C-alpha cells in the first residue's frame, strides 16, 4: 500500500500510516481500508510499540496537566479521604494534615515517571523491560493490570451507586455500573489524542458539580463526630491508604506523554504532572474526610449510605436542591469517566505486553478495552457489596508492590544507567543487523531476575509490617501499616548488589 507523506504534527495521520502496515502483517485477512476507516473514526491504531522520534511532535504540553487534573477531579479522592474519618475514626484536622503531607511525598513517583515518555517514546510498562527483562516483566504487567483495573472497578462502583441513588431505586447498582463501564470504554477507544482533548475540558463539569454539592450540603459538614486522639499506627495506616492511591499512577505515567516532543524540559512535564495530581487531590480528599466525619451525625446521610453506599451520601447532600440536585448527582457520577477512560487506555496497552509474543502484541488495543469492560462489570457488581472494606484492602496492597517497582526502576536509571535516557534505545532496528530493537530483544535486556528477586525478598520484611483486616504482622501491631515505606527503601537497596552481580556475569 502506497502512502503519501504526512504533516509531522498530525499524530493520528502518522499513526495510521505507520501502523496499518504492521496490522496488515499481523492480520493479513483484515483489509487496509477497514483499518483506515477505523483510524478515521478516531480510534488510535498504535499499540504499545515505541513512538519514533519523528512522531513525537506534540507541543501542547499543558494537556499533560489536564490529563492528570481530570483523572483526579472526581469522586475517587473524596471516598479515599472518607476512609480516614468514616472508617479509621480520625478527626478532620488530623486526617487533613496526613492528606497534605503524604500527598506532597507520594505525588513524586508518577510525576517523575511521566518525564520518561517524551524522552524515550516508551510506554511505562514497555520501559519496565529495561529493568525487569523481556519475559519477567509480565509479572509486573500483571500486577499493574490488577492495580489499574482495580481503580476502574472503584470508579464503576461509585458511578453506578450514584446513578442508582439518583433514580431512587428505579435502576439498581448493576445497571448503573453497566452504563459507566460502557461509556468509559467508548471514550478510551479514541486513544492518546482524543483522550488529551477529552480530559482538557471534562474536568470543568466535574469541578462545578463538586462545588455545587459542597455548597448545598456544606452547611452540615460542621457536625463532626467526636473522635479520640489518633495513635501513630492509625496515622501511618491512613498514610498507606494515600500512598496506595497516588504511587500506583507511576505504572502508567509515561503513557500520557509519549507523543510530546523530546525538546520539552523534564522539569516542565514533572511540574505539570505533579500539579495535575496534587491540586485537585488534596482539597477533594479533605472534603471526603469532612463528609466521612459528618455522615454518622446526620441521619439522612447515614440512611443514604445504608441504602446506596457513597452514592447515597452524595445524593442526600444534594437533596435540598430538588430536581437540580438530581442533575448534579448525575454529573458527579459521570465525572468518573475521565479517570475510567484513562485507566482503560493504559489497561489496553498493558494487555499487549502481558505475554511476550509478537502476535499477541499486535492484537488491536481497542479489542482489549472491550475485553476489560466485559470483566469489569461483573467484578464491580461483586465489589459493591462490601465497598469500603474492599477499597481499604486494595489501596494498602497495591502500595506495597508499586513502591517497590518505583524504587527498583529508579536505582536502575540513576545508578546503572547514570540517568542517561539514551540508554533506552527505541529505534526500529539495532546496528548489529539483528532486525530487532533493544526493547524487543531478550539478549540485550536484563534478565529481570535481580529486579524480581529484590522485590520478592523485600516482602520478607513487608509482610511483618502489613496491617490488613485479614492479616496484621507483628511489627504492624506496634507501628501501624508501614509496608509501603519498607518496600520503597528495601527493594531498591536489595536491587543494588543483585543487579551489580548480574551485570558482572552477563554484561547487560
Closest residue by Cα to residue 453 from 408, 392, 416: 408
Taking the C-alpha atoms of residue 292 and residue 285, their distance in angstroms, rounded to an integer, is 10
Q: Which residue has the cell 483486616?
A: 469
Verify that 25 and 113 share a domain, yes or no.
no
- pLDDT per residue of the chain (508 residues) written in tens, 0 to 9: 333 333 333 444 444 444 444 343 334 444 556 666 666 665 666 778 898 888 899 999 999 999 999 999 998 999 899 999 998 999 999 999 999 999 999 999 999 999 999 999 999 999 999 999 999 999 999 999 989 888 888 888 888 888 888 877 677 788 888 999 999 898 888 788 888 888 888 899 999 999 999 999 888 888 888 888 888 888 988 998 899 899 999 999 999 999 999 999 999 999 999 999 999 999 999 999 999 999 888 898 888 888 877 778 888 888 888 889 889 988 888 888 989 999 999 999 999 999 988 778 878 888 888 999 999 888 888 877 776 667 767 776 788 899 999 999 999 999 999 999 988 865 444 444 444 678 989 999 999 999 999 999 999 999 999 877 778 889 988 888 888 899 999 999 999 999 999 999 998 8
Picking from 123, 20, 187, the residue whose alpha carbon sits closest to that of residue 350 is 123
Cell 498504535 identifies what position? 46
| Other CB atoms within 10 A of residue 68 CB | 30
d(CA 62, CA 281): 18
Angstrom CA distances, 262 to 217, 268, 373, stand at 46, 12, 34
pLDDT at residue 40 in the model: 62
State residue 431's pLDDT score: 44
Q: Say whether both 180 and 66 belong to one domain.
A: yes
Residues 27 and 86 in one domain: no
The reply to whether 35 falls in a domain is yes
Residue 476 lies in a domain: no
Identify whether 143 is part of a domain: yes
CA–CA gap between residue 71 and residue 63 (Å, rounded):
12
Quote the pLDDT of residue 385.
Answer: 73
Q: Are 19 and 165 in a shared domain?
A: no
Whether residues 32 and 119 share a domain: the answer is no
Q: How confident is the model at residue 389, as a pLDDT? A: 67
**Helices (H), ranges, 220-364:** 232-246, 266-294, 299-308, 310-318, 322-334, 337-353, 358-361
Distance CA 157, CA 180 (A): 9
Domain boundary among 334, 353, 388: 388
Cα distances (angstroms) measured from residue 331 to each of 24, 88, 169, 486: 41, 29, 18, 40
What local confidence, expressed as pLDDT, does residue 272 receive?
97
pLDDT, residue 289, reads 94
Cell numbers for 299: 441521619
- 151 lies in the same domain as 5: no
How many whole angstroms separate alpha carbon 344 and alpha carbon 285?
23
**Are both 92 and 193 inside the same structural domain?**
yes
Q: Output the nine-digit C-alpha cell for 508.
A: 547487560
SS3 state at 334 = helix
Task: Please say which residue of 388, 413, 445 terminates a domain.
Answer: 388
- pTM of this prediction? 0.89
Rounded Cα–Cα distance for residues 492 and 454 (Å): 7
What is the per-residue pLDDT for 308?
Answer: 77
In angstroms, the CA 81 to CA 20 distance is 45
Res 37: pLDDT: 65
Q: Cβ neighbours of residue 395 under 8 Å, at least 6 residues apart?
A: 80, 83, 240, 241, 244, 245
Q: What is the pLDDT of residue 85?
A: 93
Is 96 found in the same domain as 12?
Answer: no
196 in a domain, yes or no? Answer: yes
Apex CA 119: angle with CA 115 and CA 125, to 5°?
A: 70
- In a domain, residue 416? The reply is no
Cell of 192: 492518546
Burial class (CB in 10 A: 0-12, 13-18, 19+), 437: middle
The verdict on 187 and 333 lying in the same domain is: yes
In a domain, 219, yes or no: yes
Question: Do the domain assignments include residue 113?
Answer: yes
Taking alpha carbons only, the member of 181, 292, 176, 303 closest to residue 241 is 292
pLDDT of residue 362: 79
Among 388, 404, 419, residue at a domain's last position: 388
Domain total of the chain: 2
Distances (CA, A) of 170 to 52, 173, 352: 51, 10, 39
Range of the domain at 370: 57-388
Q: CATH number of the domain that 211 lies in?
A: 1.10.4160.10
Q: Domain check: are 266 and 167 in the same one?
A: yes
Query: What are the cell numbers at 406?
Result: 518505583
- pLDDT at residue 297, as a whole number: 87
In a domain, residue 490? The reply is: no
- Tell me what pLDDT residue 12 has: 42
- Identify whether residues 40 and 62 lie together within a single domain: no
Q: Are residues 331 and 350 in the same domain?
A: yes
Q: What span, in angstroms and rounded, lies between the C-alpha atoms of 400 and 462?
A: 8
Amino acid at each position: 500500500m502506497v502512502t503519501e507523506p504526512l504533516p509531522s504534527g498530525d499524530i493520528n495521520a502518522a499513526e495510521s500510516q505507520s501502523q496499518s502496515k504492521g496490522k496488515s502483517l499481523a492480520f493479513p485477512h483484515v483489509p487496509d481500508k477497514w483499518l483506515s476507516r477505523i483510524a478515521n473514526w478516531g480510534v488510535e491504531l498504535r499499540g504499545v510499540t515505541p513512538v519514533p522520534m519523528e512522531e513525537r511532535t506534540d507541543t501542547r504540553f499543558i494537556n499533560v496537566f489536564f490529563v492528570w487534573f481530570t483523572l483526579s477531579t472526581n469522586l475517587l479522592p473524596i471516598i479515599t479521604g472518607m476512609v480516614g474519618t468514616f472508617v479509621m475514626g480520625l478527626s478532620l484536622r488530623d486526617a487533613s494534615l496526613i492528606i497534605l503531607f503524604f500527598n506532597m511525598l507520594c505525588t513524586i513517583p508518577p510525576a517523575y515517571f511521566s518525564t520518561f515518555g517524551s524522552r524515550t517514546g516508551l510506554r511505562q510498562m514497555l520501559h519496565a523491560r529495561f529493568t525487569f527483562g523481556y519475559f519477567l516483566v509480565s509479572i509486573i504487567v500483571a500486577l499493574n493490570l490488577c492495580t489499574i483495573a482495580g481503580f476502574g472497578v472503584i470508579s464503576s462502583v461509585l458511578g453506578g451507586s450514584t446513578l442508582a441513588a439518583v433514580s431512587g431505586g428505579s435502576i439498581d447498582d448493576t445497571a448503573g455500573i453497566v452504563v459507566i463501564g460502557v461509556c468509559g470504554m467508548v471514550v478510551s477507544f479514541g486513544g492518546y489524542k482524543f483522550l488529551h482533548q477529552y480530559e482538557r475540558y471534562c474536568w470543568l463539569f466535574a469541578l462545578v458539580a463538586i462545588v455545587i454539592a459542597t455548597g448545598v450540603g456544606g452547611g452540615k459538614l460542621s457536625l463532626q463526630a467526636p473522635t479520640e486522639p489518633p495513635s501513630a499506627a492509625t496515622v501511618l495506616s491512613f498514610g498507606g491508604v494515600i500512598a496506595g492511591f497516588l504511587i500506583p499512577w507511576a505504572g502508567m505515567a509515561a503513557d500520557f506523554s509519549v507523543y510530546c516532543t523530546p525538546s520539552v524540559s523534564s522539569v516542565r512535564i514533572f511540574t505539570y504532572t505533579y500539579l495535575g495530581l496534587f491540586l485537585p487531590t488534596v482539597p477533594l480528599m479533605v472534603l471526603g474526610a469532612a463528609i466521612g466525619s459528618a455522615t454518622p451525625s446526620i441521619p439522612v446521610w447515614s440512611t443514604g449510605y445504608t441504602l446506596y453506599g457513597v452514592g447515597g451520601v452524595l445524593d442526600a447532600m444534594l437533596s435540598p436542591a430538588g430536581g437540580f440536585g438530581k442533575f448534579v448527582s448525575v454529573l458527579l457520577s459521570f465525572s468518573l469517566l475521565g479517570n475510567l477512560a484513562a485507566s482503560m487506555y493504559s489497561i489496553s496497552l498493558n494487555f499487549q505486553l502481558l505475554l511476550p509474543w509478537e502476535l499477541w502484541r499486535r492484537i488491536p488495543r481497542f479489542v482489549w478495552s472491550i475485553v476489560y469492560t466485559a470483566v469489569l462489570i461483573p467484578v464491580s457488581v461483586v465489589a459493591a457489596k462490601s465497598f469500603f472494606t474492599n477499597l481499604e484492602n486494595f489501596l494498602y496492597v497495591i502500595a506495597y508492590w508499586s513502591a517497590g517497582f518505583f524504587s527498583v526502576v529508579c536505582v536502575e536509571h540513576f545508578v546503572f544507567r547514570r540517568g542517561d535516557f539514551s540508554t533506552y534505545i527505541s529505534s526500529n532496528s539495532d546496528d548489529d543487523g539483528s532486525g530487532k530493537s533493544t526493547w524487543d530483544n531478550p539478549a540485550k535486556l536484563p534478565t529481570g531476575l535481580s529486579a524480581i528477586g529484590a522485590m520478592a525478598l523485600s516482602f520478607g520484611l513487608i509482610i511483618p509490617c502489613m496491617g490488613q483486616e485479614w492479616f496484621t504482622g507483628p511489627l504492624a501491631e506496634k507501628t501501624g501499616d508501614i509496608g509501603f515505606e519498607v518496600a520503597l527503601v528495601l527493594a531498591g537497596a536489595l536491587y543494588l548488589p543483585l543487579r551489580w552481580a548480574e551485570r558482572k556475569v552477563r554484561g547487560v
